[in-house]
Chains A and B, each alone.
Chain A
Amino acid sequence: MLQMVMATGSSPALQTGPERRWLGLPVERIEDATLLIGRGHYTDDMPVRAGTLHAAVLRSPHAHAEILGIDAAKAKARPGVVAVLTGREIKHDSDPFLIVLRQPMDQWSLAVDRVRFVGEAVALVVAEDRYVAEDALDDIAVEYRKLPAVVDPLAALAKDAPLVHPAVGSNVPSDRHFTYGNPDAKFAEADRVVSLTIDYPRNSQTPLEGYVVVADYQPGEGVYDVLCNFQGPFTVHPVMSKALRCQGAQLRIRTPAYSGGGFGVKQAIFPYVVLMCIASKRTGRPVKWVEDRFEHLTAAIAAPNRVIRAQAAVKNDGTVTAFRFEQIDDYGAYLRPPMPGPLYRQHGIMTGAYAVKDMSITNKLVMTNKTPSGMVRGFGGPQIYFGLERLMHRVAIELGLDPLDVIRKNLIPAGSFPYLAPAGALIDSGDYQTAIAMAERDGGLAELRRRREQARAEGRLYGIGFAAVVEPAQSNMGYLSTIVPVEERRKAGPKGGNVAYATVHVDCLGAVSVTADSLPQGQGHATILSQIVAEQLGLDPHDIRCNMERDTQRDPWSIATGNYSSRFSSSTAVAAQLAATKVRTKLAQIASTTLNISADQVAFGNGKAFAKDNPDNNIRFSRLAGTAHWSPGELPMGMAPGISETASYSAPQLEPPNDADQINTSLTYGFVFDFCGIEIDRDTGAVRIDKYVTLHDAGKLLNPLLAEGQVLGSFGWGVGCALLEEFVYSPDGSFMSGTFADYLCPTACEVPRPVILHMESPSPFNPLGAKGIAEGNCMSTPVCIANAVADALGVKDVKLPLTPARVKELMGLTEKPPRVRSAAVAPTAKQTRTGAKALTGTGSLTVAAAGERVWHALLDPAVLARTIPGCHRLDEVGPNDYRAEVSLGVGVIKGRFTACVTLSNLDPPHSAVLSGSLSGPLGVSVGSGRVRLSPAGEGTKIDYDYTVEISGTVAAVGGRMLDGATKVLIKQFFQHLVAEMQGGPGAGPAVPWWRRLLRALGF
């Protein structure tokens, strides 16, 4: 590593003479030295003003509930607490966020009157430090009235489903249908219709550093000065300023050079920016908030889960003549701008790599009681291609053809680019046939097929998968207007384009600095900008200093500013090229006077400007630059003094949607073709990736090293999505994936190194010929692996992530009953689908006491106080209705809860229903169960069953032990009851007694 850092210090090209090309070379990352020696400063590392306060957020443990009241008096009284904000203050100080649709779905930065997902921000504590702030969270008492939650997007479509936003009148605030060509005719005359329904899970690419906001309100000018790791697009800058009721220029957003990772996720920091601005204004001091991992996983955002009903009209030879797609996209509890981007960002290119002309699309946007959806790398693409490429695989299977042959048969013909896809994408360039042939040859497909044959002959489960993906880059900022009907669009005015800015500045000694609007999130933009500028000015990339911070009060910005949609190489990089060309033109003019040649004869190389045909006639670059600063009077007539050039760029091809709802959703379209071989362990269901080949045509590669980094990164996440990652919710909306032990990101141990191949079809639509490469594998890898698993198992429906337990179920796990069925054995095999569900259980014990006695004990508050585990006090609030303070937990884990216990449906002395709820800082729970007493010899047999729902911190972080711990606690209650009857110790699991009891019960 050190060697590499050192090596970057010297220039590899020192000869005077011809101009040197830097673009396309594997220049090592300029950013790495800083990062590798630990000097990359992330937002949390940034200095803050003296007196800065720290904030902590109280979050909802309920998926859906009314807020009846919030009592923050105790929190406010805690030493060190400066303020507590609730929805009431926020509603007073700010307006709801603008959304893309005209629908009554108001959202503020804190919940107002109602919570709609687990983790929704309910109150903000601002204190002298974060520890005190978190202590005070436990002091706030929120009274909720729990409402039924809707979690599944299909269930949300039902007429009688609970409404997430009652004012909308349904859970579907947008339902649009699009037809291109005549799909119905094609389906009518098809040899066969192939159908598939897919259910793509919720996931996200989780950055190393979560959200960080430091807001400092300046009352003199009414300016909010905000440092935050927002990544753009700045379309939400007006959303924030409107919410704060201030002018855009009064909301100063500064973003740091290093972000700790973005992947789209950092766009959704904006509600917290507004929240901290209000907190700073109210307290009169700067307020800092750092999102922790638990908050991030629970409440940041996720890519929308999507149900796609896909159909292909096919001929028997494998030709696809039409597609039908119905997409039901789940946006969770709120529609935050730029949602529903994932449903429309690739609208123009829904036909993928295929020359299909007829298609219908139905896009349903669904609201549920889950964390709001947001921007995540791939942005709708992983979902679309999971549907499309699974469908193409099914076409092959149902027709008895090879999947690769079906892909090949339907590709857009070579030589037909730029190709206008039916929904409006203008695919700039490519040669998909050559790309696939190259991957097949250089990736060793024939050898992989042999390996599959051999494995299968040995009885092993081996499969091969394919995926062909068109990778869009640089979004058309008008794509979201496709969601509104033509008439509304006309009224609002046309929207399209994507504006980029870059500035090149040369100082009096010839030092060159660059600023640009790309808000890099780790990709290495500074390296490429250096290459671009160095190439234009005859310098070395290491001579160029790039400052990638952005400041809305000092730097030019537009709504498109930011880091998303693989926009950099075809927008900001082009703007930098244009700005560098302006500088070069200016310097060439100055040099032409000194060198006594015409400006077009001036070339730049090795730190000099020289005459193209006579390099000995030259002037040092530094000297040349100095002229513009020291002697502006000497400059050619009409030339502006100084050297600082800003350029902006927006490609003309990014037109607004037309009246036929066609939209060129992106500027460039790369191509990705993947294939892989996987093997499944018959015993465990574990999927092992044997070989993975990925070919990319991303146009002109500006820097192959960085391109490889992007491929590896998106491939790693693709593997995670295929095999590991999912945000899991239980049916009551409780969130179950609150830690990295529950939300499983792949590590280096789980991600094999893929074979990466490149070809280059330069884009004719931008001067650099570059396309995007950062998102392809996010789209291709999950479906490629899924196709391979489907091939290995011969199954139709494969749902991600393909966890070992899920694969084992696909393989058909059947359990043979035990030879002797003892009381301790679970009565039936629970063939539940892997995933969250309500916790249920049964148990039975025998007690040496008559049924009547047991019955009376069960109804005696004094006995209950002794038998409820961890009970400190118990008050009778009504007949058979109790309120108790309990410390509950297993082993060392303990939390304080308020318990409500009710006995009902009394049938003395035979049965009763015990129901109750728990609430405390660690979470909430409701449950009920039936207790039945029956004579057993001289004693009584107690049978019980229960159903428990748990939500909040314990559910989100303790999922692994939830089922077991519930069993233990409920068993404990009955064991205490038995002990009470038999005169044993009332509480505290003393070992000898436990062991005796367990043995007696046959456990």
Chain B
Amino acid sequence: MKPKSFTYLRPDNLQEALQALHRMRDDARIMAGGLSLVPMMNFRLLETKYLIDISGLASLAYIREASAEIEIGAAETQANVLAWPKLAKSLPLLSLAMPHIGHFQTRSRGTVCGSIAHADPSSELPLCLATLGGSVVLQSARARRVLVAEEFQIGMLATARQPDEMVTAVRFPTRKPGAGYAFAEMAQRHGDFAVCAVAAVVSETAVRLGVGGVAEKPTLRDWPALADGEIDDALNDFAWELGGSDDIHANAGYRRDLVRKLGRRVIEEAKKCSN
């Protein structure tokens, strides 16, 4: 479990990092916390010639409030975001979901943007970003663009990031008046990858459910409103569309059932919290 030889770069500022990425493109990987990247390198599931460590870039370690969204920089740790005093008020979904991410030891190194850039189908943060309709800021030496979460993550561990781009920030829309938020996940142990994670945003006129861990990427479903009698059928249809896959811990049928059961739980809970 030792990685192949690589060159470690620790840029002094964002421009340096982008320049390096511009030159090295697919030969380089950006590392922030390194919590997913380094184990994969050690298993040699992933090889890279250059590792660009951005964890020391102070200019990227920020939580910024804008009019209707919170922008989190690429070097900001999950622990800092979770400890941010306004989190529960501005981003209630994150404040519910983030305690499920690993353990406090891993959150103190792991970053919000790193988790989203890694695009694990079971991770909490990509699910929250998609469910809230957030976006990802991608920057390269040549340009900067912003993609909505659904366009950013295109599949399992796969994103629309171009080889010379890095995720410099993500933007989470803040709490909407009259909306309720709820999150639940089933993991075998606290901090494990979710077998199924669900996030709901419910207002008087709309119900949105996001599901992670079942399909190739976090998947959303919107309903104008769901009467009590409709929820089960709606969730059942959605569960079947998600399909789900088998692994040693759970099969697809179990995952679909969690979509039905946990989905109902969070929709009801979010409904209660709305208004």
Contact = CB atoms under 8 A, between A and B. Distances in A.
Interface of A: 130-131, 134-135, 138, 292-294, 683-686, 724, 728, 736-737, 741-742, 744, 746-747, 749-750, 803-805, 808-809, 813, 815-820, 822, 824-826, 829-837, 839, 889-895, 921-922, 953-954, 957-965, 967-968, 989, 991, 994
A72 B260 CA distance: 54
B250 interface: yes
Given A746-B189, A805-B251, A835-B248, 8 more contacts: A684-B186, A684-B262, A685-B254, A803-B249, A805-B195, A890-B158, A895-B45, A922-B44
Interface in B228-275: 233, 236-237, 240-241, 243, 245-254, 256-258, 261-262, 265
A747 B250 contact: no
Interface of B: 1-5, 29, 40, 43-47, 103, 118-119, 121-122, 151, 154-160, 186, 188-193, 195, 216, 233, 236-237, 240-241, 243, 245-254, 256-258, 261-262, 265
Nearest to A801: B188
A831 B253 contact: yes
Contacts of A746: 189
A836 B248 contact: yes
Contact of B44 (A818, A825, A921): A921
Contacts of B254: 685, 804-805, 808-809, 813, 834
Nearest to B159: A891
Query: From DSSP, what is the main secondary structure of chain B's interface residues?
Result: loop
Contacts of B155: 890-891, 968, 989
Nearest to B153: A891
A960 B186 contact: no
Nearest to B1: A292
Nearest to A723: B188
B31 to A, nearest CB: 12
Contacts of B191: 747, 749
A158 to B, nearest CB: 25
Nearest to A834: B251
Contacts of A816: 236
Contacts of B158: 890-891, 989
Contacts of A836: 248
Contacts, number: 175
A818 B240 contact: yes
A724 B3 CA distance: 30
Contacts of A834: 248-251, 254
Contacts of A991: 151, 154, 160
A922 B45 contact: yes
A960 B45 contact: no
B2 A741 contact: no
A967 B216 CA distance: 10
17 contacts: A294-B43, A683-B261, A684-B261, A724-B189, A744-B192, A747-B103, A804-B250, A805-B195, A834-B254, A891-B156, A894-B45, A953-B43, A957-B43, A960-B247, A965-B156, A967-B216, A989-B154
Given A684-B262, A724-B188, A728-B248, A741 B193 contact: yes
A817 B237 CA distance: 8
B248 A804 contact: no
B33 to A, nearest CB: 15
Contact of A820 (B2, B237, B247): B237
B241 A822 contact: yes
Contacts of A832: 246, 251, 253
B246 A963 contact: yes
Query: Which 9 residue pairs across A and B have the least CB separation, nearest first?
Result: A891-B157, A683-B261, A963-B245, A749-B190, A805-B250, A818-B240, A292-B1, A805-B254, A891-B158
A901 B247 CA distance: 26
B250 A750 contact: no
B45 A953 contact: yes
A135 B190 contact: no
A960 B193 contact: yes
A675 to B, nearest CB: 25
Contacts of A954: 45
Contacts of A893: 40, 45-46, 157
Contacts of B192: 741, 744
Contact of B156 (A744, A837, A957, A968): A968
A893 to B, nearest CB: 5
A950 B186 CA distance: 27
Nearest to A964: B245
Given A830-B246, A893-B157, A958 B45 contact: yes
Given A818-B236, A822-B241, A994-B154, A130 B2 contact: yes
Contact of A891 (B5, B119, B186, B241): B119
Nearest to B237: A818
A949 to B, nearest CB: 14
Contact of B248 (A737, A747, A830, A921): A737
Given A815-B257, A991-B160, A968 B216 contact: yes
Nearest to A738: B43
Contacts of B122: 960
Nearest to A824: B241
Given A804-B250, A825-B243, A894 B46 contact: yes
Nearest to B213: A960
A853 B193 CA distance: 44
A527 B38 CA distance: 40
Contacts of A750: 189-190
A960 B216 CA distance: 12
A891 B45 CA distance: 11
Contacts of A138: 44
A813 B122 CA distance: 23
Nearest to A726: B248
Given A747-B190, A803-B249, A964 B1 contact: no
B273 to A, nearest CB: 19
Nearest to B244: A826
Contacts of B236: 816, 818-819
Contact of B46 (A292, A892, A968): A892
B233 A819 contact: yes
Nearest to A960: B247
B233 A742 contact: no
B222 to A, nearest CB: 17
A959 B43 CA distance: 14
A684 B258 contact: yes
Contacts of A922: 44-45
B159 to A, nearest CB: 8
B73 to A, nearest CB: 22
Given A804-B250, A991-B151, A134 B2 contact: yes
A718 B210 CA distance: 36
Contacts of A891: 119, 155-159
